[in-house]
Structure 1
Amino acid sequence: MTSSLASLSQNKKIDSLKTILKQEISTEEKAETYILLIDQFFSLQKDSAEIYLNKTIKLTENIESLKRTNILALLKYAQFYIIKGDYTKSQEYYTKVNQKLRDFKNYDLETKYFGDFGVLNFYQGDFKGALTNFDKALQLAESNKNEEDQLRFLNNKALAMSYLGKAEASLDIHKKAISLAEKLNDSTALGKSFNNIGLIYEDMKEYRKALEFYLKSLKIKENSSSQVDVANSLFNVAGMYKEIGEEEKDTSLYVNAENYYQKSLDVAKKINYGKIILFNKTGMAQLATVRKKPKKAIEIYKSVINEAQKTKDLQTLRVTYLNLGVNYIRTKKIASAEQNLLLAKPMIEKANNPSDLAKLYKNLSVLYQEKKQYKKAFEYLLKQKEFEDELSKNSLKDKISDFEVKYETTKKEKEIAQQKEELLTQKLAIKNRNLYAILLTAALLILGIIFFAVYKRNLFKKKQLQKEIDLKDALATIKTQNRLQEQRLRISRDLHDNIGSQLTFIISSIDNLKFISKDASEKLKDKLSNISSFTGDTIHQLRDTIWAMNKSEITVEDLHTRILSFVEKAKNAVPNTKFDIEYTIDKNENFTSLAGMNIFRVIQEAINNSIKYAEADTIKIELNKKEQLFIANVIDNGKGFSLNSTELGNGLSNMEKRMSEIEGSVKIISKETKGTTITLEVPLKNKANDV
C-alpha cells in the first residue's frame, strides 16, 4: 500500500514537471526542470532518465551560464552507467567531468565527482583508488562543514578500508558515522553503517553476527526510497544464509539463501542494476558449489565472465576465476583449475583482501598437491596460514563488542528520556482538571518517576559496574596470557641462542677432531660420528620444542605443516620410500601446545620406527576426527612383527607415556610380512565451552 501511494505521488510530480515544459520558459528553467525529471525517473525508469539526460547535456553544452547544470548532468550519466554495470562508459563520463572541473571550480560538483568516482573505483575492485577519492571528498565536506556529505563519505571510506583489510581503522570511522547519523536523524546512513559493520564481521567469519547487522540494515533500507540499497542488502543477507548453512551443515538455510538471492535479482532487474545482477549470479553459483553441484556452478560462472569482461568488472572477475578454479578442482579438471586460479591470482593480490588471499592460496596448495608438486603446495600452504592469522583478530572482536554495548546503552538512555517526556506531557494534560486531583496525581506521579528513575539508575549503575569488573577481569586474563607468552618466547630464544648455538659448536668441534685425527682408530672415528649424529638429532628436537613453546595453541593445520616438514627431511634420508599424508579433520581444530607437541613426537617416533626397522617402501599418515576424538594413524607396508614374540622397547613406552600425559592412547596392530599400523587417539577440546 505504501509503495502504491509513493508511486502515485511520484507520477503526479512527473506530470506536473512535464506540464511546466509545455509552457514558454527560459533555457535555464527548462534545464532545471530536466534535472528534476531525471531525479524522479532515476530509481525506477532508467530509459526515461536517459532520455532527459541526453536532452539536458545537449541543451547546456555550449552555454557558459549553464556550465554547472551541464557538469551535473554528466555526473548523473556517469552514475547511471555505474548502476547499469557499464564501467567503461562511466569512466568516459568521469573523464569529461574532470576536464570541465579544471576550468570551473565548484565545491558541490567537486565533492560529488570525487565521491561518485570513488564508487566506480570500488566496483572496479580498485579499493585503494576508492579510498583516495572518498578521502578527497570527505576533506572537501569537512572544510565546508557539510555534515550530510561528511556522513556519506565516512561510510564509504570505512567500507573501502574494510575491503583493504584495515578492519580496526574501519570500525573507528564507522563509530564517527553512526554518531553523526544519529545527530542528523539519518536512518538511511545508519542502515549503511550497519551493513558495512556486517561486512567486517563477514571477513572475520562471524557469519551469525554479520547476518544480524545485515538484517538490521535491510529493515531500515526497506523503508527508504533507494531500491539500489535494498538490492544490495538482500544480496548480503542471502550470502550469510549460504555461509551459515555451509558452516553449520544446515541445508535448510540454503533455501533461505536462494530466496533472498532471487529477491535481490528481481529488484536489480527491475531497476537495471547490472552490478548486483552479476553479483546474484555469482551468489547462485556459490550456492551450487556448497550444494556439491560443481558442474552447475561452473556453468553459471562461465555465463558471468563475458559480461564482467565487457564492463571491466575486476571485482566480479577475480571472484569468478577463483571459484571456477575451486569447482574445477572438485571435478578433477586440474589443468582448467590451474588456468583459472592463475588468472585470479594477480587481481586478488592487487585488491589485497586478506579473506580472498587466504582462499586463493588454500586452493593453489590443494591444486599443487593434486599435481604432486609438494614444494609449491607447501609454499602456498604457508601463505594461506599467514593471511588466516591476519584475519583472526580477537582484539577487533572485543572492540566491536564494546562498540555494540555503547551503542545499545546510548539507545536505552534516549528511550528513557523519551519516556520521561511522555510522562511530563500526561502531567500537563491532567492539569486542566480538578486542582486537588491534579496535585494528588502529580505527587504520586512524581514519586513514581523518582522511584523509577532511582531504580533504573541503580540498575544501570549495577550493570555498568558489572561490565567494568568483567572488563578488568578480561584485561587481567589477557595480561597474564601475554606475560606467559613473553616467558615462553624468552625461554625459546634462550634455548635457540644459547643451547642451540652450543650444540652447533659441539658438532663443528667433533667434525674438526675427525679431520685432525686422520690416524685415529676406526673405533674412535665411529664414536665421534655417533656423538655428532646424536647432537644433530638433539638440535632438531630442540627446534621442535621451541616451535611448540612459541604457541599457546597448536591447530591441526600447524600439526599438518610440521609433519610435512618432517616428511620432507625423511625423504632426503630414504629417497626410495613413498610418503602419503591425508587429513579429513577441520584444520581449525586445536590442541594445547603440550598436546600438540606430544602428538607430533609420537607420530615422529612411529615414522622413524617404520624407516629404521620395517624396511617399508610406503608410509601413510592419516589425521581424522571421530565424534570428539582426534585420531592419527601411521601405516607402513613393511615386514611387520609378532606382538606376542617380540619384546617392545623404550619407543613404545615413550609413546604411551606421552599419550597418557594428554589423556590419549596408543595402539599397535602388526603382523609379520603384513606391515604395521600405529593408532593414537586424543580427546578434542569441547568448543561449546571455550571462552
Structure 2
Amino acid sequence: MFVFMANITNFFAQKSTIDSLKISLLQEQTQKQKAATYLLLIDNYFSTNKDSAEYYIEETLQFTKQESSLQVSYVSALLKYAQLFIVKGDYKQSENYYNKVWAILKDNYDYELYSKYYGDFGVLHFYKGDFKGALTNFSKALELAEKENIEEDQLRFLNNKALAMSYLGEAEASLDVHKKAIFLAEKLNDSTALGKSFNNIGLIYEDMKEHEKALEFYLNALEIKKNGTSQIDVANSLFNVAGMYKEIGEKEKDTSLYSKAENYYQKSLDIANQINYGKIILYNKTGIAQLATARNQPRKAIAIYETVIPLAQKANDNQTLRITYLNLGVNYLKLDILSSAETYLIKAKPLIETANNPSDKASLYENLSKLYADKNQFKIAYKYFEQQYKLEQELSKNSLQDKISDFEIKYETEKKEKEIAEQKKELLAQELAIKNRNLYALLLASALLILAIIFFAIYKRNQLRRKQLQKEIELKDAISTIKTQNRLQEQRLRISRDLHDNIGSQLTFIISTIDNLKYVSKDANEKLKQKLTSISSFTGDTIHQLRDTIWAMNKSTISVEDLHSRILSFIEKAKASVPTINFNISYDIDANKSFPSIVGMNVFRVIQEAINNALKYAEASTIDVQLTKKENYFVITILDNGIGFNLKSVTLGNGLSNMEKRMGEIDGTIIINSELEKGTEITLKIPLESTLDSV
C-alpha cells in the first residue's frame, strides 16, 4: 500500500512538473531557456510516455538545429533519440544517431556530452550482446568522470562497467568494481544506484548457479526500485526475479515456483508493453518460453521462440537471438528432431562465441555434444564435450565463492560500523537538543515557514488557474473567429452560386437571343450584324470574367497550381484567337504554395490585362509568362518581343492604371520596362507575407 501511494504521489508530482514546463514554453524565454525547458520535458516523459518524449525530441531538434549557440541542447536531444531507440529495441537506428553525435563531438570536447555519449553508447553495445564494446565505452566514460571528479557519474559508470565484466565472465574483477560502487552509493545516499549494485551482484550469483542467493539480491533491488520513478528499472527487476523462481523451481522440482515465475514475467511484460520497452518485451517472451521448456512443453516453447525471432532480427538484438536459437535447439533435441536442433544450435554458435559468456558457451557445447552423440558422430560429440568440460572447470569459482563471502562480511561489518556511528551522532544530537532551550523557538519558526510555503503554493496554484482560465477564454475567442470565417465562406459560396445560376444563365440567354436575331435578320444591313456580333462577343467575355470571379469566390485560398492552370486556360483561348503568337509559361515555385483569394484574383486579372495589351498593341510573335520566387517576393514576369513603346512619351491608359491599382490593393508593385523595336517586360512583385503556408 505504501509503495502504491508513493507511486501515486510521484505520478502527480511529475504531472505537475510537466504542466508547469508546458506553461513556461508559452511565456517569454530566451532561446537557451526554451531549449532547456524542452529537454526537461523529454526527461519527464521518457520513462512514462515514449510517444510524448519522441514528440518533444523532434521539437527540440527543430528548434536547436540551426543555432550554433544551442549545439549542446541539439546534441543532447540526439542522444535522447538514440536512447529512445534502445528502449524500443531498434538498435540499428540508435547506432545511426550515436554516429551523428560523434561526428559533432569528435573535435569539440565537452565533458557532459562526452560522458553521455560513451555511457549511452556502452548501453547500446550491451543490449546488442557486444559486452567487450560495452566494457570499452563504460571504461572511457568512467575515466572522464574520475578526471572531472564527478562522483554521481562515477557511480553510474562503475555499476555499468561491473555488469559488463560479469557478462564477460570476469566475476572477481566485477566484484571489486561493485564494492566501489556500493560504498560510493551509500556516501551519496543514492538508493537507485544501490539497487543497481544489488541487482548486478545478483547476476554474479546467478552466473555461479547460486540461485537462492541471487533471488535474495534481486528482491532487495526490486524493493528499492519500486520506490523510484523509473518503470524501466522495475520491469528489469521483475524479469530477474521471475528468472530465479524458474531456476530454483527446476532445481528443486517445485512446480509451484513456476507459477510464481510466470506471475513475475507477466507483471514485467505488462509494464514493458505499457512503456513500449522493446528489449524487455522480448526477454519476457523468452522467459515464458523457458518456463514451457522447464514444464516439458517443448512444442509450446518452440511456438513462442519462433515469434521472438523476427522481432529480435528486426531490432538487431543478438543477445536475444543467441538465447532463442540455443533454446530452440534444446527443445528440438527433446522432440528428437535432430535436423532442426542442429540448424538452430549452429545458428547460435557464432553469436554465443562472439558474446563470450562462459555459462552460455558451456550450455551450447553440452547440447552440441548430445546432438552429435544422438547422430552417432562420436568424434565431433567428444570434441564439444571436452570444450564443455574445460568451461565448467573454469566456472567452478571456488576462489570466487570465498571472495564473495569475504566481500559480504566486510560489507556487513562496515555497514554496522556506519550504523553505530550514526547512532552515536543521534545520541549527541538528542543531548544537545535537551540542553538547547531555544528549540521551541526554532520549531515555531519552522512551523511558520511551512505555513508560508503552503500559502505560497496556494497562491501559485490560483495564479496558474487564472492563467488557464485566460487560455480557455482565448481558445473560445479563436473558435468564435473560426465560426465567423465559416459563415462568411458559406455566404461567399451562396453568392457565387447565385451569380452562376441567375446572372450566368441570363447572360447565356442573351447570347442565344442575339444569335437567333442574327439568324432571323439575314437581310439586315452589315452594320447591324457587326453590332449584334460585338454584343454577343462582349457578353461572352462577361461570362468568362464572371466564371473567373466565381472561381475566386469559391476558394478561401488559391494555390500556385490553381493560378498556373487558370493562366494556361486563358492562354489557350488567346491562342485560338491569335494562332500566330507563340506562348510560353513556366514556374519554379512550390505548386502547393497558396494565396488569399483576393491576392490570387488580382494577380490573375493583372496577368490577363498584360497579355491582352500585348495581343492588341505589341505586334509580338512570342509572349512568355514566368512565375518565380526571388528573395522574399513572389515574382511574375510577362515578356513580349513586340514593337515596344516609349514610356516617357506614352500616356498610361485605363488598363495600365487598373493594373497598378490592383497591385496596390495587395501591397504588390508593378514594374514596366519597354524599348522601341525590342519588346516590353512587365514584372509583378508580391511580398511572400501575402502568401500562406503550403497546403
Amino acid at match of 1:313: D
TM-score (norm 1): 0.62
2:283 aligns with: 279
1:218 aligns with: 222
1:14 CA drift (Å): 1.3
Look up the SS of the partner of 2:273 in the other structure. helix
Q: Is residue 349 of structure 1 aligned with residue 353 of structure 2? A: yes
1:210 CA drift (Å): 0.7
Given candidates 142, 148, 154, the residue that maps to 1:150 is: 154
1:229 CA drift (Å): 1.0
Q: Is residue 55 of structure 1 aligned with residue 59 of structure 2? A: yes
2:136 aligns with: 132
TM-score (norm 2): 0.61
2:89 aligns with: 85
- What CA deviation, in whole Å up to 9, does each residue of 1:32-79 have, x standing for no partner? 211111111111011111011001111111211011110000001100
2:239 aligns with: 235
1:24 CA drift (Å): 3.2
2:145 aligns with: 141
CA contact (8 A) 2:338 2:371 kept: yes
1:105 aligns with: 109
Give the direction of change, closer, same or farther, for the CA distance of 1:103–1:429 in structure 2 (3 Å limit): closer
TM alignment of 1:538-549, pairs within 5 A: none
Whole-Å Cα distance in 2 between the matches of residues 62 and 430 of structure 1? Answer: 63
TM alignment of 1:184-263, pairs within 5 A: 184-263=188-267
Q: Is residue 71 of structure 1 aligned with residue 75 of structure 2? A: yes
Whole-Å Cα distance in 1 between the matches of residues 63 and 425 of structure 2? Answer: 54
Given candidates 18, 30, 37, the residue that maps to 2:22 is: 18
Give the direction of change, closer, same or farther, for the CA distance of 1:339–1:432 in structure 2 (3 Å limit): closer
Amino acid at match of 1:94: Y
Whole-Å Cα distance in 2 between the matches of residues 11 and 130 of structure 1? Answer: 34
CA contact (8 A) 2:134 2:164 kept: yes
Q: Number of residue pairs matched?
A: 433
1:187 CA drift (Å): 1.2
Q: Is residue 96 of structure 1 aligned with residue 100 of structure 2? A: yes
1:268 aligns with: 272
Amino acid at match of 1:408: E
Whole-Å Cα distance in 2 between the matches of residues 57 and 191 of structure 1? Answer: 34
TM alignment of 1:454-533, pairs within 5 A: none
TM alignment of 1:648-687, pairs within 5 A: none
CA contact (8 A) 2:6 2:227 kept: no
Identity of aligned residues (%): 68
Whole-Å Cα distance in 2 between the matches of residues 430 and 66 of structure 1? Answer: 55
TM alignment of 1:348-387, pairs within 5 A: 348-387=352-391
**Runs (5+) with no aligned partner, structure 2:** 438-695
1:429 CA drift (Å): 4.7
Amino acid at match of 1:220: I
Amino acid at match of 2:21: L
Whole-Å Cα distance in 1 between the matches of residues 173 and 424 of structure 2? Answer: 37
Give the direction of change, closer, same or farther, for the CA distance of 1:348–1:429 in structure 2 (3 Å limit): same
Whole-Å Cα distance in 1 between the matches of residues 29 and 427 of structure 2? Answer: 55
1:589 aligns with: none
Give the direction of change, closer, same or farther, for the CA distance of 1:401–1:36 in structure 2 (3 Å limit): same
CA contact (8 A) 2:172 2:400 kept: yes
1:271 CA drift (Å): 1.2
Amino acid at match of 2:64: T
2:644 aligns with: none
Whole-Å Cα distance in 2 between the matches of residues 423 and 145 of structure 1? Answer: 34
Q: Is residue 398 of structure 1 aligned with residue 402 of structure 2? A: yes
Look up the SS of the partner of 2:25 in the other structure. helix
Look up the SS of the partner of 2:385 in the other structure. helix
Q: Is residue 170 of structure 1 aligned with residue 202 of structure 2? A: no
Q: Is residue 34 of structure 1 aligned with residue 38 of structure 2? A: yes
Given candidates 339, 342, 353, the residue that maps to 1:338 is: 342
Whole-Å Cα distance in 1 between the matches of residues 309 and 77 of structure 2? Answer: 31
Amino acid at match of 1:401: S
Whole-Å Cα distance in 1 between the matches of residues 78 and 99 of structure 2? Answer: 10
Whole-Å Cα distance in 1 between the matches of residues 94 and 76 of structure 2? Answer: 14
Look up the SS of the partner of 2:28 in the other structure. coil
Whole-Å Cα distance in 2 between the matches of residues 397 and 14 of structure 1? Answer: 48
Q: Is residue 46 of structure 1 aligned with residue 50 of structure 2? A: yes
Whole-Å Cα distance in 2 between the matches of residues 174 and 164 of structure 1? Answer: 15
**Runs (5+) with no aligned partner, structure 1:** 434-691
1:102 CA drift (Å): 2.1
Amino acid at match of 1:318: R
1:21 CA drift (Å): 1.4
Q: What is the Cα-based RMSD across aligned positions, in Å?
A: 1.2
- What CA deviation, in whole Å up to 9, does each residue of 1:526-557 have, x standing for no partner? xxxxxxxxxxxxxxxxxxxxxxxxxxxxxxxx
Look up the SS of the partner of 1:225 in the other structure. coil
Whole-Å Cα distance in 1 between the matches of residues 210 and 198 of structure 2? Answer: 15
Amino acid at match of 2:111: Y
1:422 CA drift (Å): 3.2
1:414 aligns with: 418
1:29 CA drift (Å): 2.3
Whole-Å Cα distance in 1 between the matches of residues 18 and 185 of structure 2? Answer: 31
TM alignment of 1:116-131, pairs within 5 A: 116-131=120-135
1:432 CA drift (Å): 7.3
Give the direction of change, closer, same or farther, for the CA distance of 1:325–1:17 in structure 2 (3 Å limit): same
Amino acid at match of 2:204: I
1:113 CA drift (Å): 0.0
Whole-Å Cα distance in 2 between the matches of residues 420 and 18 of structure 1? Answer: 47
Amino acid at match of 1:376: I
Whole-Å Cα distance in 1 between the matches of residues 155 and 308 of structure 2? Answer: 34
2:645 aligns with: none
1:516 aligns with: none
1:185 CA drift (Å): 1.3
TM alignment of 1:626-645, pairs within 5 A: none
Whole-Å Cα distance in 1 between the matches of residues 428 and 151 of structure 2? Answer: 33
Look up the SS of the partner of 1:125 in the other structure. coil
Whole-Å Cα distance in 1 between the matches of residues 106 and 268 of structure 2? Answer: 40
Amino acid at match of 1:93: Y
CA contact (8 A) 2:119 2:141 kept: yes
Whole-Å Cα distance in 1 between the matches of residues 416 and 368 of structure 2? Answer: 49
Look up the SS of the partner of 1:217 in the other structure. helix
